[in-house]
Structure 1
Amino acid sequence: MVHLIKTQSSSAKSRMGPASLNPDLPAVAGLGSFEKLNGFFNAIYDGPTEDPPWHSALNLLCETLHAKHVTLILKPPSPVSTGILVNTDAVAHDATEAYQNHFFTLDPFVGLPEGQVVTPEELVGDKVWKQSTLYREYLKPLDVKFLIGADIQTADGIECRFRVSRGGDIPFSADDIALCRLLLPHMRRALQLHSRLDGLETERQLFAGAVNSMQLGTISLAHNGAVIDLNPEARRILAEKDGIQISNNVLCTDNRREGHELQRLIKEALSGSAGKKGPGLVEALALTRPSGRSSLGILVKEIPPSPWTVNRQRAAAVIFIRDPEASVAETSQKIVQQLFGLTRIEAAMALSLANGSTIEETAENLGLKKNTARTYLRFIFNKTGVTRQTMLVRKLLGSVASLG
């Protein structure tokens, strides 16, 4: 193992600059100031917000270490998955694909001591490494001669591999290894942030999909009332420009009186005064449509900030908008069959009725005789425990079927 040597001569200290004031910082070539070191820290902590993640940090490290490639294996490849690899720009796509699909099974440079930066020679010995299939058939053709790496594990179960390769005849120095060791704890913390952000984004997409599947439009507003986000259903409604639309990133209505009322509701939500009227009080608005179709339903709600919120760009209010004439979201016929024990044709009938079709229209669309359709409808009533068509529609819409 390579250990940091903390003692420096006075002349060396004078050459190193401000970083030498802390004896724990390595005398890394190319890092003569705190500014350069802070550049690494900034890139690492900005990494979770980049696409691909840590793109800047890996390329900065590649440049500083004069490396050929720098790779972050966020999820190691396996027989059932190609894993998740983030590489510097210098890595060819074909080389990455070859490792993910084949060479990962032949890699002896795995299972490294957690949190330590080592070479393959230290791990398995020089002879074993140079004779390995990975080195001879994969790395050598890529002109990779030297390799260092570290494995990072977090408290919440993340296992990440960090690898740096170099060609030519100059191996990695003790300073190069020291720099990587210095950055590892920060990389571990950034990985934990990435994991939490990823979890929040996954939940956001899940709930956003559920809201949209219920044919409910959502319009997010900034603190100044500007529109900052629309879900697909809201985008569809606004694109029709029938009663409401967006102009200069602000919501506008065709009816002036209704427009003033909508702005009042938005202003109250953004100021937080709506919540002060009482938790059970909800104000809504119906927007008429010049086309003559049924009015749009509008509900404006405040999005209360957390006690620690400082982001002025966050959504401060949300508008829920529903088109009563929109067809029920495409519901899986199979889910309806499973929920209520219906046959395929019974489920198709139930969904048709829930979409607003009459029994006669449903029979015609499904190619059934009216009497046959009515017989099926009695079967459906019996299986769902209802006695009227309106009750059937209510039961379908109130079930989880619409989320399918």
Structure 2
Amino acid sequence: MPYPLTLDQFSTMLDTLYQGPLENIPWTSFLDKLKNALASKYATFILRTPSQQVDGLSISTSGSSEAVTAAYNQHFYALDPFVGLPERQVVSLIEFVSVPDWLNSEFYKNFMEPTDVFHVLGADISTPEGAKCRIRISRGRSDPPFDQNDKDLLTLFLPHLERAVVLHSHLNRMESERNLYAGAVDQLAVGTIILDQDGKVLQKNRVAERLLETKDGIKLVNDGLQVGTSRDSQQFRQMVKQALLSQKSSNPSVVEAMRVQRTSGLADLGIVVRSIPPSEWSEGKYCPAVAIFISDPEQESSAPQEIVRALFDLTPAETQMTLLLANGLTLDEASEELGISRNTARAHLRSTFSKTGVTRQTMLVRLILRSVATLG
């Protein structure tokens, strides 16, 4: 069956293919177009093949059953005879498995036949990063088998699909790293806000969102930031302006700081403004240009007790008292909070000093707040 694609049709399909990594469910638009172009029932892209060690990850066209996909990933993948295809080569099922063997296989009888899938066209691709992917196109038993024109059409897109998978892997790795670092900054109770080249807010972490919601010392106005008094705002705007000028001229990173009083009477916010050096090939107005870091002295340390105990070999009682001291309480306030005598609290403190190798309460607090416990 011939499938003459016009240049516009081919370009449209390529557009959806390379747009695939940015979709909420990758490549769904491309798979739908490919399914229609090949007059098939389903098009499925297996991004991660299932095994006993890991769950499979597959994307199917609209109309596919999630239950069927789950059944394949949990059980039927081990029975699938249409695997291990020649690398980057489009193959039809009847070239790989004889029709009698296919009809008599448990995989066909229990998995494919109930969904009226008989003809299958497929290809396997691997990327330099180690991804092993499969694309499968299927038709019902009453449909015509796949022919050479079908194979040629799918072959056209294979190298582009491989490149798109590589892009997806890079984007996914960058997103994972970004989420890891963002989570670490959240644990440190530091608010971070990223501004673009116009000084507008691009993104913010959860700590910054909570601070902005209170509108106490800093707030969001027309996608920009307003801090403290009018004098504070003037100083802040000047700091951001300097950071933007430094960023645009590719000068060494500018770092400036200020304190902002809060109308509530809570402790002043500490704000650091830092320019973000542009990457060599960055372009467009929505690139990160300035980073704003905000410290809130009222924010308590969130170091988990179990991690502090494991790091410093403390008892539960010593750990509780140490965290109270790290959050700014005096020894008397900590003993009252824990319902113990001052002598008991002092005994806990001496034991903690011995285990951590410090000799003063201020050193202990510094040790806890600068340890990896706050990242737990």
- TM-score, length-normalised on structure 1? 0.89
SS in 1 for 2:286: coil
Quick one: which of 334, 337, 353 aligns to 1:381? 353
Q: Is the 2:120–2:136 contact (alpha carbons within 8 Å) kept by the matching residues of 1?
A: yes
Give SS of 2:107's match.
helix
Deviation per CA, 1:40-75: give whole Å up to 9, x if none: 211111111111111111011011111111111111
Using a 3 Å threshold, how does the CA distance of structure 1 residues 58 and 113 change in structure 2: closer, same or farther? Answer: same
Q: Which residue of 1 aligns with 2:276?
A: 303
After TM superposition, list the pairs within 5 Å mapping 1:108-147 onto structure 2: 108-147=81-120
Aligned to 1:271: 245
User: Quick one: distance in 1 between partners of 2:248 and 2:340?
Assistant: 52
Match status 1:397 vs 2:369: yes
Out of 131, 138, 142, the residue aligned to residue 158 of structure 1 is 131
Deviation sequence 1:201-230 (CA, Å, 0-9, x none) = 111111111111111111111111111211
Match of 1:183 in 2: 157
CA distance in 2, matches of 1:135, 1:117: 21
What CA distance in whole angstroms lies between the structure 2 residues aligned with 1:299 and 1:244?
Answer: 13
Tell me the equivalent position of 2:316: 344
Query: Are 2:335 and 1:363 equivalent residues in the alignment?
Result: yes
Please give the alpha-carbon distance, in whole angstroms, between the structure 2 residues aligned to 1:274 and 1:35: 39
Q: Which runs of 5+ in 2 are unaligned?
A: none
- Give RMSD over aligned pairs: 1.7
Q: Measure the CA separation in 2 of the matches of 1:359 and 1:128.
A: 78
Match of 1:101 among 74, 85, 109: 74
Aligned 1:3-402 pairs, distance under 5 A: 28-31=2-5, 33-167=6-140, 168-272=142-246, 282-328=255-301, 330-402=302-374
Q: Could you say what secondary structure the match of 2:192 adopts?
A: strand
Worse-superposed segment, 168-177 or 86-95: 168-177
Once the 2 structures are TM-superposed, how far is the Cα of residue 28 of structure 1 from its aligned partner? 4.5
Cα distance in 2, alignment partners of residues 379 and 367 from structure 1: 18
Task: Tell me the CA shift for residue 368 of structure 1.
Answer: 2.2
The share of aligned pairs that are identical, in percent, is 44
Distance 1:362 1:368 in 2: 9
Would the aligned equivalents of 1:342 and 1:383 in 2 still touch at CA under 8 Å? Answer: yes
- Alignment check: 8 A CA contact 1:274 1:302 kept: no
Preserved contact between residue 268 and residue 274 of structure 1 (Cα < 8 Å): no
Q: Which secondary structure does the structure 2 equivalent of 1:97 belong to?
A: helix
Supply the distance in 1 between the matched residues of 2:252 and 2:257 (Cα, whole angstroms). 15
CA apart distance, 1:263: 0.4
What's the CA shift for 1:389?
1.0
| Structure 1 stretches of 4+ moved >3 Å | 273-279
Aligned to 1:6: none
Distance in 2, Cα, partners of 1:245 & 1:352: 30
1:30 Cα offset (Å)? 4.8
Q: Distance in 2 between matches of 1:360 and 1:275?
A: 54
Gaps of 5+ in 1: 1-26
Looking at structure 2, the residues matched to 170 and 369 of structure 1 have their Cα atoms a distance apart, in angstroms, of 86
Q: C-alpha deviations, 1:123-170, integer Å up to 9, x for none?
A: 122221121111111111101121111111111211001111111331
Aligned partners of 2:155, 2:251: CA distance in 1, in Å? 56
